[in-house]
Structure 1
């Protein structure tokens, strides 16, 4: 097993290991440090010795042992020794059965209303998805040092305020739901292309949230949105890993079971008539999934849905996506005027969309410059390959 293989296991199992260890030690910072120590040990041992039968179990056990050692070394009072002894007896079969609940508990801990909404999302992305601080910073379009400071402050606040590690009581769910849904959606987005295990984890969490909050229409909407987006995974890239744009995808190869499930959830949302951002995004994706195999899409309906979404969530990214739909209804010149009014210079897709529109109106020199800016800001190799082809 190579160090790269261990790194892949790290990304897949990090959130699970941290979730279990937080329950044991009650300190997010200590849990993170011990899990990272366990992965360092794995990198040292596994390439030569081979992986254990259960890599996740080995990592959790090793991290727990590191935490016990730390508590013993630092113990200057009986309380430290008691915590270490408590951890010694919380091992064995119970751990595996509690994993799913532990992940949900960690999300709700990170999404406590005492933390700012953006910080809740960022912290959970870091802990649940095993994302680096740099990756979380990119998701928020901020610098890495700024994000590192936010994460440290958030973990300290959870520790110092004694924020509980549990799923809140039913009466407390509504005030937490916005941050929790945002977290799950961003986890899904991080797994959209290169990390299918993250996308699968987000869908699993989405199903848990629907079961936990059956009367929350936005939980239904988010699950529908993720299912409809995931249905296109088989056609989103070529066998060689190159991106395939939506208009060029073979829609007969979409996962039609996921499409059917997602559309059923969208219809349930429509019956409830309490529109929110995730329900509207799911409805937009449902329109795309309704398109026949020729690829024809009801763009006017999509623009109308984006108008509703802008009323609910008037962000520059939503406005950018709306402009893409406007280009299909009113033409690229009208869409370009909308795009040029946005301030999204750090966002690579802004420059990519702008390059496409500039090409379509015949301003090829400016289109090349826009694509070059997009290439400089792209976050994945698949995106960079596509942009190089467009510049070709």
Structure 2
């Protein structure tokens, strides 16, 4: 049954997460006043936008110490993705894939500490975040600017010049057979609901970074369980149509009064697409996310690096007829290679502006650049986030 693997994993993972919270060492006992961390030093909290990765659970990085302060976050993000029409084959079956679309989304999340239910006890260590997105898929307006940038810096243009700008071609289907995605016109799509419960395992020290609450810890280690509920439609690119589950280990460390380091290791169990199309996601994925927040007076500078394992099952061959340009400009790297997302942000008070670019780490024997090349899925991401403590 679609989604059965993550569902079977969910109950024991949830039981383990709740069990470790009250059993954590005494060093993690936090007085109510210390159950929070400076918002200015928090990581960007970005996932990996783009039509294909967005279908599945993609756990964002969070502050491992922030377990006691409720908040509401709203993010506007614009992700421009690009690939040429391509065919991939395996075992006698062929799929057609294209990823040419701008996806502009409103991403909402609400963080609710368990102390809202009742104060004291293990609830001081637990918080649950509810996340949801709504996406407008359209031709966009960024294609011309991206092509101009490629020309200015002398970068490879990924055959963009051969196709009309600002069109919509989002496909994942078997020619004459099953269709998972086949969008040729703009639409508004509601996404999946994500529930993430974080448990503080240990903490210590006293934070001195700007904006830190009284008695806030300088460092913390947490575990988190994420669950994606299939509230979005696959046909509308709102979600995969199945349940996904993930676990993460997070750490946050105040290096100095003006620098805070965050990190996360995570793994996810992913359902198959709600379609019989031959190309399906890998069941298990892994990733690592690192973030450095530099606090400079009233502003914070942020730099993050996010590495994800390959999205789709392997063994597929690009049916490009030997054309290196067609291969590099296709969605092959986005689907079958690891993904590296580099992001930079500028935060002032409740507002954070960020920019992300994607890369494919590893060798690239069929390209002019033989190592660590851009893979255009998404090509660029711009985001503006407003976070309001409640």
Using structure 1 for the length normalisation, give the TM-score: 0.22
Max Rg structure: 1
Q: Which is bigger in relative contact order (C-alpha 8 A, separation at least 6)?
A: 2
Using structure 2 for the length normalisation, give the TM-score: 0.22
Which structure shows the higher helix fraction? Answer: 1
Which structure shows the higher strand fraction? Answer: 2
